[in-house]
Chain A
Amino acid sequence: MKRELMNQADRIVLEVLYRSFRVLYRKDSRVRKEIDGWADDLTLKLVCGFGGAVLVVRHDREHGIVKLKRAQKADITMRFKSVEGAFQVLSGQKSVADAYAEHLFFLEGDIFQTMSFVRCVEYLEGYLFPGFMSRRILKELPGKQIPALEVYALALLENGN
């Protein structure tokens, strides 16, 4: 039961993550610069444990990223070893760096390209989590170019497809 709840929460947060990424691609120059540096049509997959939530996106010149139906194989796949581990990261209890250090996920694909995605997630965490949470999990606060509330509001209005 607890696992199923975490799974549901992971699904919701992945959706928020996706929409916020698209918002920040338009509103945050650092995120835009990172994503513009990705290879054309690069596909990226986040898997939240065995049987867990999945997000697959493709690099898109206009929107930054667009969602794909479940791809069998992406250029980069970050696969959490467990639903619980994914939940710890998506709920702001641990940073991506902590998760990497604790072997909570493994990676298929180019480590070099993945580092850019990790930086984007850290920018995003700076917006999505309250200051006390970001300060606890991030090595340094990345700063904001627009108010966090605006990101949330625009993410709500964002096309989720």
Chain B
Amino acid sequence: MTSYFEFTNPTKLCSGKGAADNLEYELEILGVLHPMVLSDRVLEKIGTLGIVLDALHTVQPGRVFTDIPRDSSIDVVNRIAREYREFGCDGLIAVGGGSVLDTAKGVRLLISQDADDLLDLMGCECLPRGKYVPFVALPTTAGTGSEATPVAVIKNPSLHIKMEYISQHLMPDVAVLDPRMTMTLPPRITASTGMDTLCHAIEAYSCMQKNPISDAYAASAVRLVRDNLVKAVRRGRSKETRMALANASYLAGAAFGNSMVGVIHAVGHALGGVCHIPHGDAMNILLPAGMIFNRKVCRDAYGELLLYLAGPEVYQATEPSKRADRSIREVIHLRKQLHELTGLPLTLKEAGADPGLFPQVAKTALNDGACIVNPREVTFEAVMKILEKCYE
């Protein structure tokens, strides 16, 4: 753990049954009259967006934009910011998964800094707040935790990379976790996004920026995933399990938003950019290999996590020197269960990755900011070994 840390979490959390019904009030408090609503076509089609629009009542959206792809890009963000100005909007509502939420963060950045191109605003913790743009996030997956992080990951299609923007001014004013938002998630996506949450929590608990506050958030997230992920995959209509996973995602997001993530995410981002592997799938595939890579410097942290991964009985019954290994086995066991239930890929081969692209993946991963806070030095050779190990 470092000798100094910072922790930021200014977002108001509205979590639970009917949370979206308070949206009109939250917008009034923020002074929003004509918000821009961002979402995607699927959420529009299945009615999730409709629930939010209905909850606006007297608030008239200035613009509803649903043409956001799965991996949003700089061009999409720039285009939406232009429309925000053209339609005279005065705030942002993001209804969606990580791509929609990160797109909204990018738009907020452009509007607040009075800029036209996201490429002009690259950096880490370098921007002043600028013009205030009210921002409400309603996540529709329980995985990215983007509603609680100062990070936006946005694709740069010309370079085939996912670019990271880090600023406390990206964080939403309000995050609304309503079980209706995630109720219709298919089991396969529930599993994939749930493993993304687990990966956020485990990396947050073991990376260089870990601190007592982020540890508390991360440990709670791991416990909620342990108790609810398989249940949610089996019985998706359970409001309790959906809420538990939404809360876990938020907690893990707040944890890694402050203590950052490491090699698993660095390689996962690169696999997304180069091989187009969905982020949650990549996290599921890489998690055990990444833990094994970091084990020699994270033994204590992984050992502590066993309490949350397996519960007090298992923790108590396991010798302290064997707890880290047992934690990794618990993760492997969870992956196996999810694979049997949903077919979630366990290898990069199953996920359709081309091994011929691995050198490019490794080169891209090394330049990901997450490598710098990984507790163990990440080299090209080490990433290649992880990729080869995860291939089949």
Report which A residues bind B (CB closer than 8 A). Answer: 77, 79, 96-98, 100-103, 106-116, 118-119, 138-140
Q: Report chain B residues within 8 Å CB of A109.
A: 122-123
11 residue pairs from A and B, CB less than 8 Å apart: A97-B372, A98-B2, A98-B208, A102-B4, A106-B125, A107-B123, A107-B125, A111-B122, A111-B123, A111-B368, A112-B161
The reply to whether B125 and A115 contact each other, CB–CB distance below 8 Å, is: no
Considering the complex, which residues of chain B in the window 150-183 have a beta carbon less than 8 Å from any beta carbon of chain A?
159, 161, 163-164, 166
Q: Within the complex, which residue of B3, B4, B126 is in contact with A107, where a contact is CB–CB below 8 Å?
A: B126
Contact B373 A106 (CB under 8 A): no
**Contact status of A96 and B372, CB under 8 A, knowing A101-B208, A103-B125, A111-B163:** yes
Q: How many angstroms from the CA of A110 to the CA of B4 in the assembled complex?
A: 25
Q: Is the CB of B372 within 8 A of A103?
A: no
Find chain B residues with CB under 8 A from A97 CB. 208, 372-373
- State whether A115 touches B164 (Cβ < 8 A): no
Complex partner residue of A106 from B123, B372, B377, CB under 8 angstroms: B123
**With an 8 A cutoff between CB atoms, is B376 at the interface?**
yes
Write out the residue numbers on chain A whose beta carbons fall within 8 Å of the beta carbon of B123. 106-109, 111
- The residue in B126, B163, B164 that gathers the most chain A C-beta atoms within 10 A of its C-beta is B126
**Set of chain B residues within 8 Å of A110, measured between Cβ atoms:** 122, 163
Closest to A98 in B: B2
Q: Do A102 and B5 contact each other (CB < 8 Å), given the known contacts A108-B123, A109-B123, A115-B369?
A: yes
B371: Cβ under 8 A from any A Cβ: yes
Q: How many residues of B contact A (CB 8 A)?
A: 29
Q: CB distance A115 to B373 under 8 Å?
A: no
Residues of chain B within 8 A (CB-CB) of A101 are 2, 208-209, 260, 372-373
| CB pair B367 A112 closer than 8 Å | yes
In the complex, the number of residue pairs spanning A and B with C-beta atoms less than 8 Å apart equals 71
How far is B126's CA from A77's CA once the two chains are assembled, in angstroms? Answer: 10
- Expressed in whole angstroms, the Cα–Cα distance for A96 and B268 within the complex equals 23
Q: Report the minimum CB–CB distance from B64 to chain A (whole Å).
A: 32
Q: How far is the CA of A92 from the CA of B260 in the complex (A)?
A: 24
On whether A102 and B2 interact (CB within 8 A), knowing A107-B125, A112-B161, A139-B377, the answer reads yes
Within 8 Å CB of B166, what residues of A?
111
Binding site for A on B (CB under 8 A): 2-6, 122-126, 159, 161, 163-164, 166, 208-209, 260, 297, 366-369, 371-373, 375-377
What is the distance, in angstroms, from B105's C-beta to the closest C-beta of chain A? 16
Closest Cβ–Cβ distance, residue A122 to chain B (whole Å): 8
- Give CA–CA (A96, B124) in the complex, Å: 14
Q: Which residues of B contact A119 (CB under 8 A)?
A: 366
Which residues from B are CB-within-8-Å of A114?
369
Apart from A101-B208, A112-B163, what 13 extra A-B contacts exist at CB < 8 Å?
A: A97-B372, A100-B372, A102-B2, A102-B3, A102-B5, A107-B126, A110-B163, A111-B122, A111-B163, A111-B367, A112-B159, A115-B368, A139-B377
A140 to chain B: which residues have CB within 8 Å?
A: 376-377
Specify the chain A residue showing the minimal Cβ separation from B1.
Answer: A101
Question: In the bound complex, what is the Cα–Cα distance between A102 and B159 (angstroms)?
Answer: 30
Contact (Cβ within 8 A) B161 A139: no
Residues of A within 8 A of B371 (CB): 115
A112, closest chain B residue (CB): B367
CA separation between A96 and B208, bound complex, in Å?
12
Kindly list chain B residues whose C-beta atoms are within 8 Å of the C-beta of A115: 366-369, 371-372
B365 — nearest CB in chain A belongs to which residue? A115
B279 to chain A, nearest CB (A): 18
3 tightest A-B contacts by CB? A140-B377, A106-B125, A139-B377
CB distance from A144 to the nearest CB of B (A): 16
* Chain A min CB distance to B125 (Å): 4
Q: Which residues of chain A have C-beta atoms less than 8 A from B126's C-beta?
A: 77, 79, 106-108
- Establish whether residues A112 and B124, one from each chain, have CB atoms under 8 Å apart when the complex forms: no
- In the assembly, what is the distance between CA of A101 and CA of B204, in Å? 12
A103 (CB) vs chain B CBs: closest residue: B6
Let me know if B373 and A100 touch, CB within 8 A. Answer: yes
Q: Which of B161, B368, B369, B372 gathers the greatest number of chain A CB atoms within 10 Å? A: B372
Cα of A67 to Cα of B163 in the assembled complex, Å: 29
